[in-house]
Amino acid sequence: MESEDEIHTNNKYCNDLDERSVEQTAIDNWLPITSSRTARWWFSTVHNITAIVGAGVLGLPYDMSELGWGSGVAVLVVSWIVTLYTLWQMVEMHEMVPGKRFDRYHELGQHAFGKNLGLWIVVPPQLVCLVGVDIVYMITGGQCLKKFHDLVCEDCHDIKLTYFIIIFASVHFVLSQLPSFNSISGVSLAAAIMSISYSTIAWGASVNKGVQPDVHYGYRGKTRVDTVFSFFSAMGSVAFAYGGHNVVMEIQATMPSTPQKPSKRPMWKGVIFAYIIIGMCYIPVALIGYWIFGDSVHENILVTLQKPKWLIATANMFVVLHLIGGYQIYAMPVFDMTEAVLVKKLEFKPTWYLRFISRTSYVAFTMFMSITFPFFDGLLGFFGGFGNAPITFFVRNYMIALALA
C-alpha cells in the first residue's frame, strides 16, 4: 500500500496537472485561433476567397506576358487543380488523429516531422508568406489609394506614396484589435465581395477597351537570360496568387466539430464554393487581360486601364477595401503565434494591453517595411517562390506521407 507521503505527492501532482490544464484551457480560449469555434460553412468560403483572391490577381495578365500563352494557361490551370487537391489534403488532415485537432499549421508539421524539426520546417516559410503578404498588401493598398486620389482629383497636389501607405495602415491599427478569427468574419465577407467586384471590373473594362492595335504576344524578356528569369518570377507570382493555404488550418480551427459532424464537412463545402469563385475571377482576368494588351500590360492591370476613369477609380477603391480584409486574414495567425510565445514561453499574463502592444507593433513593422521597400512585383515573385510554393506545393505532400506512415 502507498504511504501517506506517496499519496500526498500523487495528489499534489494531480492537482498541479489540473491547474495546468485549467490554465492551458484559459490560454487557448484567449488566443485568437482557438477562442471561438462557432463558424459556419460560408465562413470558410469568404475567408478562403479573401485569402486567395488578393493583389496577385491583378498581376496575372503581366505574368501571362512572361509565361506566354501555352505555358501561362498550363500554369494557371495546373495551379488551380493542384492547390485545390492539396487544400483538400489539409482539410482531411485537420482531424486525422482521433480526438485531436491540428488547429495551426505548425502543429501539423510537428506531428509529421517531430516537435522541434516540425517548427523549423513549417514556421519560417509560413511566416515569410504571412508577413510578406501583409507587407505587399500594405504597399498595394497605398498604391491603389494614390491611384484613386489621382483619378478623382487630377488638379490636386501630388502626394507621395508613403502618406497613402500610412493612411492604409491607420485602419489596421484599429482592426487588428479584433480578438479572434470569427470576429473579422464581417470584414472578410465585405472583402470577398470587393475582390469579386474588382476582378470583374478588370476583365470587363479590358473587353470594353478592345484588343490594342499594336498588341504583341511574345515573351516580355529581351534576352534569353531575362526571359528565363522572368519566367520563374512569373511562376512565383502565380504561386503567390494561390497562397491561401497558409491559413487554412487556422480557418478550420474556428469551426465546431463532433464525431458525428466533423469540421471537415462544412470546411470542404466552403472551399468548393470558394474555388469555383476563384476560378471565375482568375481565368478571365489573366486571359482577357493578356489578350487585350499583350506584353505591354502593366504589373497591375488597373494601372494599364485608364478609362473610364470613374470605373477604374471605383475598382481601385474596391481593391483597398478587399486588402483591408486580406491583411487581417493573414495577420491573425501571426497574432496567434506572437501571443502564444508571449504567454506560454515568456509567461506574460494574457491581458488586453499585451495584445494591444504586440499587434500594434506588428502593424507598425509592416508599415515601416512597406514604406522602405515599395517594390510590388519583385516582392510577389519572392514571397511566392520562397513562402507559398513550399507550403502550398511541396511540404504538405511530405507531411501527409509521414503522418500516415
From residue 315, alpha-carbon distances to 118, 202, 327, 399 in Å are 41, 8, 18, 40
CA distance 140 to 160: 14
User: How confident is the model over 46-56, as a mean pLDDT?
Assistant: 85
Residue 6 pLDDT more than 70?
Answer: no
CA distance 263 to 257: 5
Residue for cell digits 488566443?
Answer: 31
Identify which of 386, 359, 397, 394 has the alpha carbon closest to the alpha carbon of residue 127: 386
From residue 338, alpha-carbon distances to 145, 160, 238, 314, 367 in Å are 30, 32, 29, 36, 18
User: How confident is the model over 355-360, as a mean pLDDT?
Assistant: 96
Indicate the pLDDT class of residue 301, thresholds 50, 70 and 90: confident
Identify which of 50, 133, 63 has the alpha carbon closest to the alpha carbon of residue 386: 133
The residue among 128 and 348 whose pLDDT is bigger is 348
The residue among 183 and 225 whose pLDDT is bigger is 183
The predicted structure's pLDDT at residue 357: 96
- Tens digit of each residue's pLDDT (9 = 90 or more) over 186-232: 999 999 999 999 999 999 988 988 888 888 887 776 778 878 888 88
Indicate the pLDDT class of residue 158, thresholds 50, 70 and 90: confident
Residue 386 pLDDT more than 60?
Answer: no
Average pLDDT, the chain: 84
The predicted structure's pLDDT at residue 385: 56
Indicate the pLDDT class of residue 7, thresholds 50, 70 and 90: very low
Indicate the pLDDT class of residue 389, thresholds 50, 70 and 90: low
Residue for cell digits 515569410?
Answer: 128
- Tens digit of each residue's pLDDT (9 = 90 or more) over 88-110: 988 988 888 888 888 888 888 88
Are 168 and 320 in contact, with CB atoms under 8 Å apart? yes
3-state secondary structure of 101: coil
Highest average pLDDT, of 9-23, 254-268, 286-300, comes from 254-268
User: How confident is the model over 350-359, as a mean pLDDT?
Assistant: 93
Indicate the pLDDT class of residue 374, thresholds 50, 70 and 90: confident
Indicate the pLDDT class of residue 398, thresholds 50, 70 and 90: low
Report pTM.
0.85
